[in-house]
Chain A
Amino acid sequence: MPEYMVLLYAPETEDEQDRWADMSEWLAVTESLRKAGLLVANGPLHPVASATTVRVRGGETELTDGPFAVTKEFLAGYYVLNCADLDEALHHAARMPTARRGSVEVRPVMSAREVPAPGPDAGGRKRAGTGNG
């Protein structure tokens, strides 16, 4: 069965208390997914202020303090679910409390088969325009 990463986005304005207000609901959803054998992994993330974005440009590593994009929402947690197809994953995503206040992103996780096989230049993957010929 394909795996899905379910990413939970909460409104930035939400404070710590709001964040945990639905604790019993979180526990119930999580437990039901675990019992159904769908849950691969899940966990909450630290608030957005603790985020660091890493970029590599021309071999140089650049660090940015903050999330990857400027939006009104921050990535608040994730689930990894094992579902038959997208419909099943969307169904469970809609059960997340965040779906009501923020957004829940469902992103298919690439299976090993879908990851391109390493080529002759397996060490550093070539990019158009950056290769040295």
Chain B
Amino acid sequence: MADLAATTVVRVFRDERAAVLATLIRYVGDFQVAEDAVQEAFEAALTTWRRDGIPDNPGAWITVTARRRAIDLLRRARSISDRAERLAALLRLDQQEHAPMGEASAIADDRLRLIFTCCHPALDMPARVALTLRTLGGLTTGEIARAFLVAEPTMGKRIVRAKRKIADAHIPYRVPAGEELPGRVRGVLRVVYLIFNEGYSASEGDRLVRAELCDEAIRLGRLLCELMPGDTDAWGLLALMLLHDARRAARVDGHGRYVSLRDQDRAWWDRDRIREGLGALERAVRSAPPGRYQLEAAITALHIQASDADATDWAQIAELYGELGRLNPSPVVGLNHATAVGFAYGAETGLEFLGPLLDDPALDRYQPLHATHAELLRRAGDLTGATRAYARAIALSANGVERAELERRLETLTADRSGDGG
């Protein structure tokens, strides 16, 4: 059945391509050659499987085919260092067995090597993100380009350039050791976090592709936890992504409008994601003081665990935001801290926490600040001030969905005011 061959190719591509590629790169010593070999193996699979049927172990078939293509390609690629030795090793391997290369632990090591290489700090951040999605995720260059709203040739060039730099500059294919490791792990987690945020935060662009970014980031997060089970930050990041993603379907209504946490239909939340996320969070805080991902995940968990918006434990959320602000100060964290304080201890107290941010000239054009200010003023009963702050936020908003929501709130406010008189 032709369709079964195609769907199997898609599944194996998504689930096993990165592992096959990771091991082949180690043998071949060159990203591009290994990638070409794996690509050709998948192309051959489609034709062969349609004709001869699907093999018992499709992943092993791809591994062996990619290895033989790599041998052919290596014979022609004279610029690769230690070419003769690498060819000999591949030929030896090919004669020994037809099963997948190496032990499970060796395969895991190869995938870690691949992650650390794609996220190497000598590559610029957009290149790291693109290369990670391309080589470790199951996304095509076209899909990555659409997700980041750049032209496909631009994204293609970015990926090719990154691979060339890896080859030309001899970026090592290894897991960093010793004192270097913690910083590099943080760098890898950051790349995954950026991929997730790109998929989660923006409401413009191709929503379907953006959902795929979230899924890819979560897959990468799971992989990192599997490969580095002792890393609490990795578990924290996975928890954070799962708990945010659990609410993805509830964040936008049938008309494409943003739905705030308070108004979300909790029946739309993904229970499996929540369960997995809470489990990951437990592992993340078990043996080490919480880092930024753990704190963010814990805040999200508190929101989710409340039976409804009014039952939320705002005092604890405010405390966690305070801690997050000490660890990783940013305007966003400051705003969320003030908001949480406002809910826990009253809008006036929240406004006091917002004061320093409002005094910062650098944040004058920061739309979320004015939206938060408006919300707190409204709840404190200062409707004139709230109207002014909403107008300012609307004027600064560049996002259609967001602006519509702000305008709706301003209208409600105006209705309340005229209602006061009657």
Contacts and interface: CB of A to CB of B under 8 A. Distances in A.
Given A86-B122, A113-B81, A108 B168 contact: yes
Interface stretch (B99-107, B169-177, B300-308, B378-386): B169-177
A108 B169 contact: yes
A108 B79 CA distance: 15
B78 interface: yes
B175 to A, nearest CB: 12
B172 A113 contact: no
Contacts of A90: 122
Interface residues of A, number: 11
A85 interface: yes
Looking at B168, B170, B180, the one whose CB has the most chain A CB atoms below 10 A away is B170
Contact of A86 (B78, B81, B172, B180): B172
B170 A113 contact: no
Interface string B192-218: 000000000000000000000000000
A64 B122 CA distance: 32
A106 B122 CA distance: 10
Contacts of B172: 84-87
Contact of A113 (B78, B168, B171, B176): B78
A121 interface: no
Nearest to B172: A85
Interface string B89-125: 0000000000000000000000000000000001000
A114 interface: yes
B170 A114 contact: no
Contacts of A2: 170
Contacts of A113: 78-79, 81
A85 B171 contact: yes
Given A85-B171, A108-B169, A114 B122 contact: no
A19 B170 CA distance: 32
A107 to B, nearest CB: 8
B171 A86 contact: yes
Contacts of B78: 113
Interface of A: 2, 84-87, 90, 106, 108, 111, 113-114
Interface of B: 78-79, 81, 122, 168-172, 176, 180
25 contacts: A2-B170, A84-B172, A85-B170, A85-B171, A85-B172, A86-B122, A86-B169, A86-B170, A86-B171, A86-B172, A87-B171, A87-B172, A87-B176, A87-B180, A90-B122, A106-B169, A108-B168, A108-B169, A108-B170, A111-B81, A113-B78, A113-B79, A113-B81, A114-B79, A114-B168
